[in-house]
Structure 1
């Protein structure tokens, strides 16, 4: 990973690079493709924060945040959360620090918006990214969402 890593808003100039990103084949069951994420971002509007992760001019990943959504409006509409909705690091760029960079960029954005906790979910099991998220300071909340483990990282 070089010093030229950054997140960039997705637009006409980089959408093809975003759509071309692919994770490792064995990870495809754990994370939706970028095209689905962009469709969800369109449907959710300002709640979604999709970004392309670039190293210089090369697309190396994609991240999308959910911002200030009611976690369970049937139970407690005041329980509003922000966090990582999607993280796709390109197959040839994994293990180089890009995932960590993306999570830190997401945490910084939530902090900038006044948040003090950062949530994510992950597929359980040996091929899921649980250990990656635990190493970054996430702890399971005891909740699940769509069969995935819910984790939180305090930003304080």
Structure 2
């Protein structure tokens, strides 16, 4: 993994770059656009963590993590994980997604967590292989039409 990779907060200076980020057209049905993620971050500021993924000065992706969300709404199952991952069209297959997941895992560990939760669209055109390759295991749950997966953190 190149050492030039880093995360950057969303600021007024990079906001336009963030909202202009696009996945491949054939993936648009798999992940919400960055603008929707930033709107969700605005209404849930205490539990979400939106970041740009940068390679040197180039923005190559976007992630949004969540921390200590009451998963079932019953006050008994609090989870942290990856809510969104958008890697720019033409930038996939270079390790940026792996870097994003590892960065979220590092932040969860820093906050005392031991598991990383995410969800993905199943099917041949979805990212199932990517997440399984990183060690995620389906929990048997769904979130809407998405598969929920869990990664135990060492």
Q: Compute the RMSD of aligned alpha carbons.
A: 0.9
Give runs of ≥4 in structure 1 deviating > 6 Å.
none
Alignment of 1:102-121 (within 5 A): 102-121=100-119
TM-fit CA distance, 1:38: 0.2
Alignment of 1:117-136 (within 5 A): 117-136=115-134
Match of residue 101 from structure 1: 99
Q: What is the rounded CA distance, in whole Å, between the counterparts of 2:61 and 2:79 in structure 1?
A: 23
Please say if 1:54 is aligned against 2:54.
yes
TM-fit CA distance, 1:3: 2.3
Alignment of 1:57-76 (within 5 A): 57-73=57-73, 76=74
Equivalent residues, number: 154
User: How does the TM-score come out when normalised to structure 1?
Assistant: 0.96
User: How does the TM-score come out when normalised to structure 2?
Assistant: 0.97
Match of residue 29 from structure 1: 29
> What SS does structure 1 have at the residue aligned with 2:40?
helix
| Structure 1 unmatched runs, 5+ | none
Q: What is the rounded CA distance, in whole Å, between the counterparts of 1:58 and 1:153 in structure 2?
A: 29
Please say if 1:20 is aligned against 2:25.
no
Match of residue 149 from structure 1: 147
> What SS does structure 1 have at the residue aligned with 2:44?
helix
Q: What is the rounded CA distance, in whole Å, between the counterparts of 2:109 and 2:2 in structure 1?
A: 25
How big is each residue's C-alpha offset from its partner over 1:104-124, in whole Å with a ceiling of 9 and x where there is no partner?
000000110000000000001
| Structure 2 unmatched runs, 5+ | none
